[in-house]
């Protein structure tokens, strides 16, 4: 897992093993900050380009799905394993409902077509 993260941020395996955990964490944080900046720039440019074509105020934050503080709506704030398990169960149930609904619609179309 750690080597996969190292590869994603551009650290070669021999260099990874020479780093302390604090150094590696700094490299990962810097990479994530850079990536976040790229996404924000792209969202800003998009917001600027479409501002006259849409109703309401378009902001980079809205395009990125963030609130004003930079947080992400819908991201889990659960902290205990039981809360996380319950949240995952709800997600699985919703996914199953959507799959069942899609299968029912495909079946109806097949019946209508024959």
- For residue 28, with 0-12 CB atoms within 10 Å meaning exposed, 13-18 middle and 19 or more buried, which class applies? middle
Domain edges within the chain: 1-75, 76-114
Q: Cite the beta strand spans of the chain per DSSP E.
A: none
Give me the residue label for tokens 């850079």.
34
pLDDT tens track for 6-19: 888 999 989 989 98
pLDDT tens track for 36-58: 899 999 999 999 998 888 888 88
Contact 47, 63 (CB under 8 A): yes
Return the pLDDT at 102: 84
């Amino acid at each position: 897992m750690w080597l996969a993260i190292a590869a994603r941020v551009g650290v070669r395996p021999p260099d990874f093993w020479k780093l302390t955990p604090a150094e590696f964490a700094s490299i990962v944080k810097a990479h994530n900050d850079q990536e976040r900046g790229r996404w924000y720039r792209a969202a800003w440019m998009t917001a600027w380009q479409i501002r006259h074509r849409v109703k309401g105020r378009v902001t980079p934050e809205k395009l990125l799905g963030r609130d004003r503080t930079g947080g992400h709506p819908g991201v889990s704030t659960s902290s205990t394993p039981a809360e996380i398990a319950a949240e995952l169960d709800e997600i699985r149930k919703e996914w199953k409902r959507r799959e069942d609904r899609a299968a029912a619609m495909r079946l109806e179309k097949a019946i209508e077509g024959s």
